[in-house]
């Protein structure tokens, strides 16, 4: 059956579910499954709350939104067909069944993109040095951009604010703690791959000052 709630047409399905379930929610079609135990007044109140929540999500983010990531702004493209969040053609591309993304989902996507970038950097240096490096994790750190603990690299979750150049330098700094460089070799690598390393380190020293 279809109900009109505050001007919005919603198809209602009643079953033995314990909690209300949004089965489908697009611009043209909306299906909500409601517990059979609800009275009509309770069902209307529930549907109004769902409408309100969906409206708040839509206000938060849409496909015309821009997100700040890696020290620049990216247009966000939302699609149901994107399996894994990625950056392509100057856009952040991510999926959402409903067509909108909540703030919590946004945070998960940004963390996934940060981890993806760091893992790509790790893979680059593994190939460069012909070695295997420890896995990485993201965690909230306050005094360091990274630490090495329990056979893993732990990187600060807030690193997504930095440019890719600074992030690349941070990853190199992390692996340099495990690889026994001669001082000259390390300096040569920094000069070749990160000519602004001193400036990057000054920024990090300031941001992570205890």
Residue pLDDT, tens place only, 4-42: 888 888 888 887 777 888 877 776 788 888 888 888 888
Shared domain for 122 and 81, answered yes or no, is: no
Residue pLDDT, tens place only, 125-158: 999 999 999 999 999 999 999 999 999 999 999 9
Q: Are 170 and 154 in contact (CB under 8 A)?
A: no
What does the alpha-carbon distance between residue 119 and residue 159 come to, in Å, rounded to a whole number? 13
Shared domain for 141 and 56, answered yes or no, is: no
Q: Are 35 and 19 in contact (CB under 8 A)?
A: yes
Shared domain for 155 and 79, answered yes or no, is: no
Q: How far apart are the first and last CA of the chain?
A: 61
Shared domain for 94 and 182, answered yes or no, is: no
Biggest alpha carbon–alpha carbon distance for the chain: 77
Token digits for 68? 């700040």
Shared domain for 158 and 137, answered yes or no, is: yes
Model confidence at 210, in pLDDT bands (50, 70, 90)?
Answer: low
Shared domain for 113 and 184, answered yes or no, is: yes
What does the alpha-carbon distance between residue 158 and residue 142 come to, in Å, rounded to a whole number? 9
Q: Are 32 and 9 in contact (CB under 8 A)?
A: no
Shared domain for 111 and 95, answered yes or no, is: no
Shared domain for 112 and 194, answered yes or no, is: yes
Shared domain for 123 and 172, answered yes or no, is: yes
Residue 54: domain span: 2-60
Shared domain for 202 and 151, answered yes or no, is: yes
pTM score > 0.85 for this model?
no
Lowest mean pLDDT among 48-52, 87-91, 134-138: 48-52
Shared domain for 82 and 124, answered yes or no, is: no
Shared domain for 175 and 150, answered yes or no, is: yes
Percent of the chain with pLDDT over 90: 50
Q: Are 136 and 97 in contact (CB under 8 A)?
A: no
CATH code where residue 153 lies:
3.30.2010.10
Count how many domains the chain has: 3
């Amino acid at each position: 059956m279809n109900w009109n709630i505050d001007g919005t047409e919603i198809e209602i399905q009643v079953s033995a579910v314990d909690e209300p379930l949004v089965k489908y929610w697009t611009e043209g079609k909306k299906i909500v499954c409601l517990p059979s135990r609800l009275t009509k007044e309770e069902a209307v109140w529930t549907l109004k709350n769902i409408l309100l929540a969906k409206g708040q999500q839509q206000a938060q983010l849409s496909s015309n939104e821009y997100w700040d990531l890696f020290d620049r702004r990216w247009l966000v493209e939302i699609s149901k067909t994107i399996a894994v969040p990625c950056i392509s053609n100057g856009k952040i591309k991510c999926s959402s069944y409903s067509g909108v993304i909540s703030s919590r989902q946004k945070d998960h996507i940004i963390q996934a993109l940060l981890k993806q970038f760091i893992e790509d950097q790790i893979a680059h240096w593994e190939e460069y040095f012909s070695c295997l490096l420890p896995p990485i994790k993201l965690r909230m750190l306050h005094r360091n951009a990274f630490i090495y603990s329990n056979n893993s690299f732990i990187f600060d979750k807030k690193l997504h604010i930095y440019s890719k150049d600074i992030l690349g330098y941070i990853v190199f700094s992390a692996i340099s703690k495990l690889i026994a460089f001669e001082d000259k070799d390390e300096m040569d690598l920094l000069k070749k791959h990160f000519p602004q390393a001193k400036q990057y380190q000054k920024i990090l020293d300031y941001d992570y000052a205890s």
